[in-house]
Structure 1
């Protein structure tokens, strides 16, 4: 169970994981050493799973985001495992989520433009094993993008 200080640490670090411990401690009302100890415990406990930089995809020329619903020919363990292994081979697939409903998986893909997406479709998506159907939706604009998770407390 998180206490209010741990919850505040998680909220602040999701906003900016590069914040210095002294600044973080000041924001939440702890000494630097107590804050540092709590951060290390949150890391050790797996609540903080790692750190990374957020990169602007447009700055890399990746202006197109697509969501692809994938339906497989079979939902056997072998078919799911083969599909999931294959998805790992393509950097253009940012996320792969196993879902319930009409699609078996939803993929999030980035591309430079529609022509680049066509190339990804032909040389990546069409090669994924066991696919019986694909439905692609292109993102027009993001209305809300939350970078972190809600923290209780």
Structure 2
């Protein structure tokens, strides 16, 4: 749980975040060397950044194609009615679906935008017909099957001027 008592990020904090964002497996010794600190202060800064919620976790990035998930699909979902209760029910139901990587409440013509990885057209049919369209309150959907992935990144643009205290 993030700590609400955050102090402003300085150049060293940003350098640490930028380095960890590129290589979350870097050793503390190498990280300290890269950002110009000794190991102990570097470790203390990383722990503070974790405690304050700037660093949410460390993950292995898996290759979806090698694992058979070679189809990426985005689905817009519109609900029959918009209320806190309908949003809550939909959100709880989406949490149980294994293929969904991301789900966002959005503005515009639809209510939600879903990103899913699936193995092929039969899983797409199951995802759409057997799962998404049966969720609470779903009125309709619009799908986009990705033909080519041009860019996908989890990296945030870290710039001292862009960081708000």
TM-score, structure 2 as length reference: 0.89
Task: Note the C-alpha offset of 1:122.
Answer: 2.1
Counterpart mapping for 1:132-143 below 5 A: 132-143=139-150
Q: Which runs of 4+ in 1 moved over 3 A?
A: none
Q: Which residue of 38, 45, 50 corresponds with 1:38? A: 45
Alignment of 1:1-153 (within 5 A): 1-153=8-160
Q: Is the 8 A contact 2:133 2:140 kept in 1?
A: no
Q: Tell me how far apart the structure 1 counterparts of residues 52 and 96 of structure 2 sit (CA, whole Å).
A: 30
**Deviation per residue, 1:81-139 (Å, 9 max, x gap):** 11111101101111110000111000001111112211222221121111111000011
RMSD: 1.0
Which stretch shows the higher mean deviation, 115-124 or 31-40?
Answer: 115-124
Extract unaligned runs of 5+ from structure 1.
none
TM-score in terms of structure 1 length: 0.96
Q: Secondary structure at the match of 1:123?
A: helix
**Further displaced range: 114-123 or 130-139:** 114-123
- The whole-number CA distance in structure 1 between the counterparts of 2:156 and 2:9 is 14
Structure 2 unaligned runs (5+)?
1-7, 161-165
Aligned-partner Cα distance in 1 for 2:64–2:77: 24
Q: Distance in 2 between matches of 1:118 and 1:146?
A: 27
Quick check: which one's helix share is greater? 1
Tell me the CA shift for residue 73 of structure 1: 0.6
